[in-house]
Amino acid sequence: MRPVDPGKAREYFEAKMAFSTGPIETERMIRLGEDINIVDVRASEDYQEGHIPGAKSLPQDRWDSFEGLSKDKTNLLYCYSQVCHLAAKAAVHFAAAGYPVMELDGGMRSWREHNLDVETSRENVGAAG
């Protein structure tokens, strides 16, 4: 394997840090009351079974509604796991419409693997934000 170009590596990791975050960092943002809008782009049934506390549900069949998104704060999107690309697809769609977005690395699977709180109420289904 040839050495990686340090300049390209720096650009990649700067972009990664600007547009993604992990579950521990997200939990800390929630705990500290940082101004983020957490959006679950999984199927509604999966959201109802358990989601990140305070997350809004916006499954793929409702993406064009932009319901619950905010243009005034970062919309942190997540889906099922590290290999799920729904959140990335949603990020492209929402960013194209002018919404600031980031992706939660590892999705709900990683959140659960870190034993972080999970909310099961239907309180935020379809909530506008």
H helices of the chain, in order, are 6-19, 23-31, 44-49, 86-96, 107-113
Tell me the pLDDT band of 128, cut-offs 50, 70 and 90. very low
* Backbone φ and ψ of 102, nearest 5°: -140, 165
Choosing from 36, 58, 69, 79, which is the catalytic residue?
A: 79
Tell me the pLDDT band of 122, cut-offs 50, 70 and 90. low
Tell me the pLDDT band of 86, cut-offs 50, 70 and 90. very high
Q: Is the pLDDT confidence value at 124 over 80?
A: no
pTM for the whole structure: 0.88
Instruction: Determine whether 84 is an active site residue.
Output: no
pLDDT tens for 28-57 read 999 999 999 999 999 999 999 999 999 999
Above pLDDT 90, what percent of the chain?
A: 89
d(CA 74, CA 102): 7
pLDDT tens for 10-28 read 999 999 999 999 999 999 9
Class of domain 6-113: alpha beta
Average pLDDT over the chain, rounded to an integer = 93
Q: Is the pLDDT confidence value at 121 over 80?
A: no
Q: Is the pLDDT confidence value at 98 over 50?
A: yes
Residue 22 burial (CB < 10 Å; 0-12/13-18/19+)? middle
